[in-house]
């Protein structure tokens, strides 16, 4: 029996390499079709004057990229996006860290609280944007009603109509959505820190702050690296919450780069829109790679 079945098996057996390739192929094919090809096509369009409608279009070289510098509206969008990222990223890391440290316990109650903190991740940014309009609307908003009932006028400020407050409102909604995610990563990092280290430190009479700065924070470096890089990338790509909450307004005050990509693409400037998205992609890659390099070096020092 055995001697009979062996050759049959061999006929269908593949080399290890081929087997591995075979397993990758389906995923790779789908990834190529839905991701790599469109991205490459988009990058190609960045060098054309395609309007998004017609079949024919011409190559314009780097003209679209040169226009980005001259275009006040696009420049404003880049500045807004950088401001958003610069304010949002540290806050998100800080809030995520504080949440993780205060919700370390695995008691049922704390786990329940964690769930509530994490829940907004499951909600789409668009939905969260609508929730934001319900909160901040100067006529029908929750804050407006709260201001009226408590007499605290500053709560009922024109959140979405004032350029500075609008950016604050946008950041607040984004923090609400993503701080829980940052917390999750920190929590995962915390579980990997051996309890003995703290016990030893306590025996040595280390204060809570010393325990945090000498044990927790250094050993959280890998988690911090992931969190910082992800928040930076997320900040540069921000779109959905802002789009629904303020539409980029008032004026251009909260218009982000991705929003500019969308409106330009939709107003017959597809080629220019593609060049903005390519620029943003390159910028995001540079920021992410630099941050990663710096943070990895810090991790190496800490370990």
Partner 1 sequence: MKKMVILTASAVVAMSMAGCSSTPAGDSTGGTITFVTYTGGAAGEKYVDAVAGFEADNPGIKVNLEVVPGDATYDSLVTTRIQGNNAPDIFEVLNPLAGAASYIDAGLLRDLSDQPWVSTLVPGVAAASGVTGGNTYGLVTSLASAGVFYNKDIFEANGLEVPTDWDQFLSAVATLKATGVTPLAVGAKDGWPLMVNAQAMAASDPAFADPGNETAAGLADGSIKFSENDSWKTMVKDFSDLVNAGGFSPDASGVTWPSSAEDFAAGKSAMLIQGDFAIPAIRTANKDINLGYFPLPYVAAGETPAVLSYYQGVLAVPEAAKNSDLALKFLAYLADPNVATGFLTTAAALPTVQGAEPTLDPAIAEILPALQKKSGDSGQSGLTPATNTALQTGLQSILAGNGDVASVLAALDGAQAQ
Binding residues vs partner 1 (CB under 8 A): 14-15, 18, 21-22, 25-26, 29-30, 33, 51-55, 67, 70-73, 133, 136-140, 158-163, 166, 246-253, 255, 262-269, 272
For residues 243 and 259, the answer to whether their CB atoms sit within 8 Å is yes
- Choice between 176 and 270, CB closer to partner 1: 270
**Least separation in angstroms between CB 123 and partner 1:** 19
Nearer to partner 1, 156 or 180 (CB): 156
Nearest distance in Å: CB 140, partner 1: 7
Q: How far is the CB of 119 from partner 1 (least distance, A)?
A: 26
Going by the DSSP 8-state scheme, the letter that residue 17 receives in this structure is H
C-alpha torsion 157→139→80→227, nearest 10: 90
Is-contact 229 116, C-beta < 8 A? no
Smallest distance, partner 1 to C-beta of residue 8, A: 16
Q: How far is CA 238 from the centre of its chain?
A: 7
Taking the least distance from each CB to partner 1, the nearer of 77 and 93 is 77
Quick one: 222 or 247, whose CB is closer to partner 1? 247
User: Cβ contacts of residue 236 below 8 Å, gap of 6+?
Assistant: 81, 85, 257, 280, 283, 284, 287
* Integer Cα distance of 100 and 94 in angstroms: 10
Task: Indicate the residue among 162 and 299 with the shorter CB distance to partner 1.
Answer: 162
Task: State the minimum distance, in angstroms, from the CB of residue 74 to partner 1.
Answer: 9
State the greatest distance between any 2 C-alpha atoms of the chain, in Å, as a whole number. 90
**Two tokens, residue 181:** 């995610």
Minimum gap (Å) between residue 39 Cβ and partner 1: 17
Q: Where are the beta strands (DSSP E) in 91-185?
A: none
Q: Please say which residue, 222 or 249, places its beta carbon nearer to partner 1.
A: 249
| Closest approach of partner 1 to the CB of residue 85, in Å | 21
Residue 205 φ then ψ, to 5°: 80, 25
Q: Cβ closer to partner 1: 64 or 182?
A: 64
CA 278, CA 89: separation in Å to the nearest integer? 23
Contact 283, 236 (CB under 8 A): yes
């Amino acid at each position: 029996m055995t001697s009979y079945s062996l050759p049959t098996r061999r006929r269908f057996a593949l080399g290890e390499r081929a087997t591995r390739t075979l397993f990758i192929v389906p995923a790779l094919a789908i990834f190529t079709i839905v991701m790599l090809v469109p991205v490459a096509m988009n990058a190609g369009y960045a060098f054309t004057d395609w309007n998004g409608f017609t079949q024919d279009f011409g190559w314009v070289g780097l003209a679209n990229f040169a226009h980005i510098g001259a275009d006040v509206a696009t420049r404003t969008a880049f500045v807004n996006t950088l401001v958003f990222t610069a304010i949002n990223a540290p806050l998100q890391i800080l809030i995520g860290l504080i949440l993780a440290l205060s919700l370390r316990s695995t008691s049922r109650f704390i786990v329940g609280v964690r769930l509530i903190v994490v829940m907004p991740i499951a909600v789409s940014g668009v939905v969260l944007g609508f929730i934001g309009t319900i909160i901040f609307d100067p006529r029908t908003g929750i804050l407006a009603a709260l201001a009226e009932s408590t007499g605290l006028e500053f709560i009922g400020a024109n959140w979405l109509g004032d350029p500075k407050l609008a950016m604050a409102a946008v950041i607040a909604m984004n923090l609400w959505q993503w701080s829980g995610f940052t917390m999750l990563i920190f929590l995962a990092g915390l579980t990997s820190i051996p309890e003995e280290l703290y016990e030893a430190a306590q025996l040595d009479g280390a204060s809570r702050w010393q325990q945090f700065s000498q044990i927790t924070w250094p050993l959280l470096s890998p988690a911090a690296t992931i969190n910082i890089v992800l928040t930076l990338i997320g900040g540069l790509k921000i779109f959905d919450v802002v789009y629904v909450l303020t539409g980029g307004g008032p004026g251009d005050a909260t218009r982000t780069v991705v929003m500019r990509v969308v409106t330009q693409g939709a107003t017959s400037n597809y080629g220019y829109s593609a060049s903005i998205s390519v620029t943003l992609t390159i910028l995001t890659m540079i920021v992410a790679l630099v941050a990663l390099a710096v943070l990895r070096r810090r991790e190496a020092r800490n370990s």
